[in-house]
Amino acid sequence: MRVVERINILIWTWIQSLRSAKKISIFLPFFLFTLLQSVILTALILFFVPPFSQVLVPLMERLYGEPALHYPHNFVVLPTLFFGANRWLSLLVSWLVIGTATLMFAAKYRSETVQARRSFYQALRCMLPLFVLGAVEWSLVFLMTRLFRFMAPEILMWGAHSHRLLRLAGFLCNVVIMTPFAFTTPQVVLGKRNIWTALTGSFSLAKSNFGVTFLIIAIPAFFSWIVDVAAGRAPLMVAKFSPEIVVFLLGLGVVVTLLVNFVIVGALTALYLGVAEGTP
């Protein structure tokens, strides 16, 4: 396939995904994830208020020491806590969100009736393969993050901008890891494959469309990453502006994540249907 054709496919998948936004019900699974993220964020902000304080006060004190319980120091550790909680949330819930959304997108692309509840139960029935494949991908991303953290002290010695390059490299590596797994969910919920065949099928699809798949994930995720990086600079934000600005950036990150996930899952489903099944 020529480069122009690949770009055409890329744009076409995004258009398909964005067109689906008219069908508000497709947002439901993503709203579920956003709701959970918002609950976590609210709990972390109101860590000192019951019932959150029962769990969070000892936890925060253990993780970050006594200063984390004081205003405005709690806002300095807030992004780290939120990103950490978010990571575990995505392990536990994202397989269900992506599975349900993939089924709903597919119904929309096939001009069938989009039924949130039916898609949800259908995805729930594929719980085991979805969770296992999600956990494998999650573990690899987690290991990569750990590897970067391990290498960070040495890389930071390279120069003034090395920390920015390090973050960008970490982001790109994560996307590279996610690319071969991009079609595992459609393989399971739409192709009715088992764990192994879904994995090999996804790998082979991603291999033949690596550039397109990589960009489908990387370009929208980049926006989400920028907001997260900004929120991650909490000490600066707290010192220079107002501590509450950290909450705003994290909230913005939650909203951006919702939109980004919608676009990525919609585009990947469109690509899967187009390449594997020849529809729509």
Partner 1 sequence: MQILFLLPKYKWVFAVFLDYLIDKIQCDLRMGRPLSFVLLLFLFAHCSDVKGIKDRYLAERMFYRANKLYQNIQVNPRGAGPSDYRQARESFRHILVRYPVASLRTEGHRSEKLRGELLALTGTSQMNVADLFFQEGQFDSAIVEYQGVVRDYAAEQVLSSRAQYYIGLSYQKIGKWGHAVSAFHILLHNYPPFTGTPNQPDVNILRVPVYIAQVYREQREKAEADRHFQKAREYLSGVVQEWPNTLSAQFAQNQIVSSYLSQEHWREAITALAPLVAHGDSTEPPEASFTMAELYQEKLNDPAQAMKIYTDMLERYPDARKLSRVHLGMGKIHLQRGELAMSREEFKGVISDFPEQAAIGARAQYYLALTYEVEGEWDRALNEFRWIMENYPNSPEALQVPHHILDHYIKFSDRELATSAYSQALRDYDRFIARNPDSPQAAYGQWYIAQCHEMMEQWEDAIAALEVLVENHPLSPQVLFSLLRIGEMYETHLEYPDEALKAYRRLVEKSPRSQLAQIALERMERLRQRTK
The residues binding partner 1 (CB under 8 A) are: 42, 45-46, 48-51, 53-54, 57, 69-72, 74, 226, 230, 241-245, 247-249, 251
Please state the closest distance from residue 28 (CB atom) to partner 1, in A: 25
- Choose between 173 and 252: whose C-beta lies nearer to partner 1: 252
Please state the closest distance from residue 100 (CB atom) to partner 1, in A: 30
- Choose between 48 and 203: whose C-beta lies nearer to partner 1: 48
Please state the closest distance from residue 225 (CB atom) to partner 1, in A: 12
- State residue 72 phi and psi, 5-degree precision: -100, 15
**Cα–Cα distance, 186 to 197 (Å, whole number):** 12
**Cα–Cα distance, 176 to 213 (Å, whole number):** 10
- Choose between 158 and 241: whose C-beta lies nearer to partner 1: 241
Please state the closest distance from residue 252 (CB atom) to partner 1, in A: 9
Helix-strand-coil split of the chain, %, nearest 5: 85, 0, 15
Please state the closest distance from residue 63 (CB atom) to partner 1, in A: 16
59 touches 74 (CB < 8 A): no
Burial class (CB in 10 A: 0-12, 13-18, 19+), 150: exposed
Find how far residue 153's CA is from the centre of its chain: 27
- Choose between 180 and 220: whose C-beta lies nearer to partner 1: 220
- Choose between 25 and 42: whose C-beta lies nearer to partner 1: 42
